[in-house]
Chains A and B, each alone.
Chain A
Amino acid sequence: MSNNVVVADHVSKKFRLFKERNNSLKAAMMRGRRAISEDFWALKDVSFEVPEGSTFGLIGHNGSGKSTMLKCLAKILRPDGGSCRIDGKVSALLELGAGFHPELSGRENVFLNGAILGLGQKELHRRFDDIVEFAGIGAFIEEPVKNYSSGMYLRLGFSVAINVDPDVLLIDEVLAVGDEEFQRKCNEKIAELKAKNKTIVFVSHAMVQVHNLCDNVAWFEHGNLKELGPARELVSAYTGAVQVDRQEDEDGARWGSGEGRIEQVELLDTAGRELSKLRSGDPATIRIHYRMAEPIEQPVFSLAIQTLDGTNVSGPNTRDSHCVPEKLDGAGHVDLHFDCVRLLPNTYDLTCSLFDFNNLHPYDVRHKFLRFDVERGPIEETNGLVSLGGRWQIGDLVSDA
Chain B
Amino acid sequence: MTAIAEYRGSRELFANLALRELRSKYRRSVLGWTWSMLNPLSSMIIYTLVFSFFLRVQPKPGNPSGLHEYSLWLLCAMLPWNFYQNCVTGSIAGLLGNANLIKKTYFPRELIPASVIAANLVMHFIEMSILLVVLLAFGDWRALVFLPLTLVFILVVAVFGLGFGLLFSVLNVYFRDIEHFTSILFLIWLYLTPLIYPETELAHRTIGGISLLAIFKLNPFTDFAEIFRDTLYSGRFPGLGDTVYVIAFSAAILALGLYVFNRLEGRLAEEL
Contacts and interface: CB of A to CB of B under 8 A. Distances in A.
A92 B27 contact: no
Contacts of A117: 105
Nearest to B173: A23
Contact of B13 (A71, A77, A116): A116
A95 B104 contact: yes
A103 B266 CA distance: 29
Nearest to A96: B104
A99 interface: yes
Interface stretch (B17-25, B59-67, B70-78, B182-190): B17-25
A277 interface: no
A76 B270 CA distance: 9
Nearest to A99: B101
Contact of A104 (B23, B100, B269): B23
A133 B23 CA distance: 25
Contacts of A98: 100-101, 103-105
B98 A99 contact: yes
Interface string B158-182: 0000000000000000111100000
Interface string A85-124: 0000010101100110101100010011001111011000
B104 A111 contact: no
Contact of A77 (B27, B176, B269): B269
Contacts of A28: 175
Contacts of B56: none
Contact of A112 (B16, B102, B104): B16
A25 interface: yes
Contacts of B17: 112, 115
B9 interface: yes
Contact of A101 (B20, B177, B269, B270): B20
B13 A76 contact: no
Contact of B176 (A15, A24, A99, A104): A24
Nearest to A119: B12
Contacts of B267: 78
Interface string B2-33: 00000001001101110110011001100000
A99 B100 contact: yes
Contacts of B106: 74-76, 90, 92
A309 to B, nearest CB: 42
Given A15-B270, A25-B175, A115 B105 contact: no
B103 A111 contact: no
Nearest to A103: B27
Contacts of B98: 99
Interface in A115-140: 115-118, 120-121
B237 interface: no
Nearest to A24: B177
A322 B173 CA distance: 56
Contacts of A118: 9, 13
Contacts of B105: 74, 76, 92, 94, 98-99, 116-117
B259 interface: no
A116 B177 CA distance: 30
Contact of B16 (A23, A25, A115): A115
Contacts of A104: 20, 23-24, 27
A363 B17 CA distance: 47
Contacts of A103: 24, 27-28
A99 B104 contact: yes
B174 to A, nearest CB: 8
Interface in A22-48: 23-26, 28, 34
A120 B106 CA distance: 16
Interface in B93-143: 98, 100-107
Contact of A24 (B13, B16, B20, B175): B175
Contact of B12 (A34, A94, A101, A120): A120
Nearest to A121: B12
Contacts of A120: 12
Contacts of A94: 104-105
B177 A71 contact: no
Contacts of B176: 23-24
Interface in B75-94: none
Contact of B104 (A24, A25, A76): A76
A15 B270 CA distance: 8
A111 to B, nearest CB: 6
A76 B108 CA distance: 10
A274 B267 CA distance: 65
A77 B104 CA distance: 10
A111 B28 CA distance: 21
22 contacts: A23-B175, A24-B177, A25-B177, A28-B175, A74-B105, A74-B106, A75-B106, A76-B102, A76-B269, A77-B270, A92-B105, A95-B100, A95-B104, A99-B105, A101-B24, A108-B20, A115-B17, A116-B13, A116-B16, A118-B9, A118-B13, A120-B12
Given A24-B176, A117-B105, 17 more contacts: A23-B176, A24-B175, A28-B175, A76-B104, A77-B269, A78-B266, A95-B104, A98-B104, A99-B98, A104-B23, A108-B19, A108-B23, A112-B20, A115-B13, A115-B17, A118-B9, A120-B12
